[in-house]
Structure 1
């Protein structure tokens, strides 16, 4: 009987005829031998443009101009349809690109310690980078295809198939639980921290501090605030500074991301044009106050509305130092340390406002402090890929209102994402289910 092809990875590089690919390396992917070959994999566009475009359309930061009957990946994500994809003959959104990254990362992880023309230290560094890339890909997919982390149900909620093999004839594993998936992701990153350097050749390449930043993000997502704060603090030990927007005439004067002292780990989107031209939702736009240079520098008025612009030619979906300060602020607020929470917020905020319009944020209660931090996080991290993750974790905490998709011209409500809705979790793609009918669905 014909073995099942490793569909979750090969859908991105192979056709659907399983018998053509038994015991054959995926087209376009070589098994490296020299250390420079493994570095070439890390430097490939696929590995660097790792954030899935579809996760940008489903957030409440974005307003989409889609016909109610439109069938496209973008519209399906925007209206929270269970199935994002419209064509099961092509690589599925999020899943396909994610597992291709995982395949390439596994090539590195499983082979780099045998690399020629290299030292032990060099091999271990590349191994750590492969582990970080795999962890990031799994985490991005987990926010799409699994329920938000709930410690009471995480051991039974379906997560993702955990693939470590590069053998294309290996049968696809069943979905691990959310807890097991996260344990694997965290384990990879913790190992990576021990192998990665403090600095790398560019910001697309992971460092010890970037892996700490990724751990901080994941712990924030699952509500382990102590570890989120600890790893944010560790990541902030990297050399950095915040840009004072008052020192620039426009965002065109910002340093490019590879030279931007605010960027810890640069990650692009698999659609490199994103988020340029994405419309601001009314709720996001209402959060900005007069003198906020993030709004005046990073938006443009068009006939359709206010759209996002990209600072100096590229966007970042990776780890930034502002994100880490906001994580520390949120943890402080949740623990009732109001002065520390406001100090972190204002340390960032004063670099974002015109000097004459800046007033420090202050809070009288823990709840007010947390509201201030979360609003600042939404402003600062708008269109950087974090909002869907935030929506899921805040919904788990009872902090997300109903989100309406409204036709601005008619005022008609098209659809609503209710609190605790099952539509916070997308369905396993039809193409994956077709090749693997035994895979559990959401």
Structure 2
């Protein structure tokens, strides 16, 4: 890392360790301190605007988010009005909507990549700095928590980057497939190379399992990692790897620590922001938001209308329908519904993408059904829906065969986890096991289709990254 870059980074890090108000008011002198203590390292990881993608306060409110917005951009839960498409010809938005071979067009830099690798850098910096501090009986709890958190953040980002820029994981077809660049040091001058797909997932698993013994069962706030969050992430990773036995195991471990569900019967459907602020929502195990600063997801946030076929799937008495969606007419003067159901609790324009007890119940239900425990899996679904339906409209599931029960789980996943960046992941995963799901859109009389075996399920590495690393293999088209 060159000296100028290093000093700049240290200046930034120390700024987040001090009073943000003083720094933003032009008083940075007090914070010119090289991070070297456990308190400094915890402050780095507690900068939740960067590490979780949350919003700042008041006039300093930021809107960058965290996880790649492409996780939602290519999915089929939304469409955009014709006037929006007309006004965005030749932009990332229209290329996303039509699954163009090259979604970037003339956009040299898309911030999803940079935003997602930023927490990786800080996690690596903390891990390197920790190596210079002796772990002792007096500091062991803080030392372990900080180290475990750094491993968790790195794995969390690597996993979600892989869902965008690496091909779907197929256990018997790993040979010759590229994963993502695995930055494991804080050296910004280090050349980057793409790991294989297998190496990528092994690194994710290794980091999560390294974090597991170091973290407390629960964190005081959902922006900090915990054992429950690590178990939840391991469940998500193994689900993506089609290892349903391990996915069940870790989902169950997480739910044994915390299985709180927000009762939607207690919420006011007339409120603009019907969900409580995320710090007051016990169902959230780990907090993060989708990135919203680039032209792609930013346009979707402000202009997306929810797919009518999805809306029709909600049954009478399902409170997710009035809590997740609002009539677009008062805001935009047109028909349709827009999404307001983000669990961040204070914005309709920031999409929650973290981990909840509800998602883990769905993972456990699917894994139980896949392993033959159909009644137990359907009971997990029923437990979730008791907190989502008006009581008089909820009936226990009738006995189903395995395939019908799985279809029920997939339907509930889509209705429960909408606009969290998970639909894209689910479609990739299900197509990888041969379910042959094709999605399509019609725009100006032209039908655009993304077939199940299309290489466009994997996004191209951004052009600026390839430009600076010309030897890096690009994804196929």
State whether TM-score is above 0.5: yes
Q: 1:276 to 1:324 in 2, by over 3 A?
A: farther
Give the Cα–Cα distance (whole angstroms) in 1 for the partners of residues 101 and 148 of structure 2: 35
In 2, Cα distance between the equivalents of 1:41 and 1:417? 41
Counterpart residue number, 2:338: 307
Aligned residue-pair number: 420
Match of 1:34 among 18, 21, 37: 37
**Cα drift, residue 286 of structure 1:** 2.2
CA distance 1:202–1:430, shift in 2 (3 Å): same
| Correspondent of 1:282 among 293, 296, 308 | 308
Q: Deviations over 1:289-322 (max 9, x none)?
A: 1111001112101124111104531553111000
What residue in structure 2 maps to residue 433 of structure 1? 466
Match of residue 419 from structure 1: 452
Is the CA contact (8 Å cut-off) linking 1:33 and 1:116 kept in structure 2? no
Q: 1:13-63: CA deviations, max 9, x gaps?
A: xxxxxx996776547356621222212221221111122223221111121
Whether contact under 8 Å (1:317, 1:384) holds in the other structure is yes
2:71, 2:425 within 8 Å by CA — same for their partners in 1?
Answer: no
Whether the 8 Å contact between 1:83 and 1:429 is mirrored in structure 2 is: no
**What stretches of structure 1 of length at least 5 have no aligned partner?**
1-5, 7-18
RMSD over equivalenced CA pairs, Å: 2.5
Work out whether residues 196 and 207 of structure 1, in 8 Å CA contact, stay in contact via their aligned partners in 2: yes
TM-score normalized with structure 1 length? 0.88
- 1:277 deviation in Å? 6.1
Structure 1 residue 124 corresponds to structure 2 residue 140: no
Change (3 A) 1:425 1:21: farther
Aligned equivalents of 2:175 and 2:52: distance in 1? Answer: 31
Q: 1:398-440 CA deviation, whole Å, 9 max, x = no partner?
A: 2242211123xx6x24311111111101111111111111001
Counterpart selection for 2:277 from 246, 256, 261:
256
From 393, 414, 417, give the equivalent of 2:429. Answer: 393
- In 2, the alpha carbon distance for the partners of 1:364 and 1:82 equals 41
**1:247 and 2:251 aligned:** no
| 2:129 aligned with 1:106 | no
Query: What is the Cα deviation at residue 227 of structure 1?
Result: 0.5
Partners of 2:73 and 2:248 in 1: CA distance: 29
Q: CA deviation at 1:113?
A: 4.1
Between 1:121-130 and 1:24-33, the stretch displaced more is 24-33
Match of 1:62 among 61, 78, 81: 78
> Secondary structure, in 3 states, of the residue corresponding to 1:63?
strand
Indicate the residue corresponding to 1:47 in structure 2.
Answer: 51
* Post-superposition offset of 1:360: 2.4
Instruction: Determine the structure 1 residue equivalent to 2:364.
Output: 328
* 1:75 positional shift: 2.8
Indicate whether 1:359 and 2:362 are aligned.
Answer: no
- Unpaired segments of 5 or more residues in structure 2? 15-33, 54-65, 329-333
Match of 2:323 in 1: 297
1:346 aligns with 2:387: no
TM-score, normalised by the number of residues in structure 2: 0.82
Q: Does 1:142 align with 2:126?
A: no
Instruction: Determine the C-alpha separation between the residues in 2 that align with 1:235 and 1:390.
Output: 21
- Measured after TM superposition, the shift of residue 345 of structure 1 is 0.7
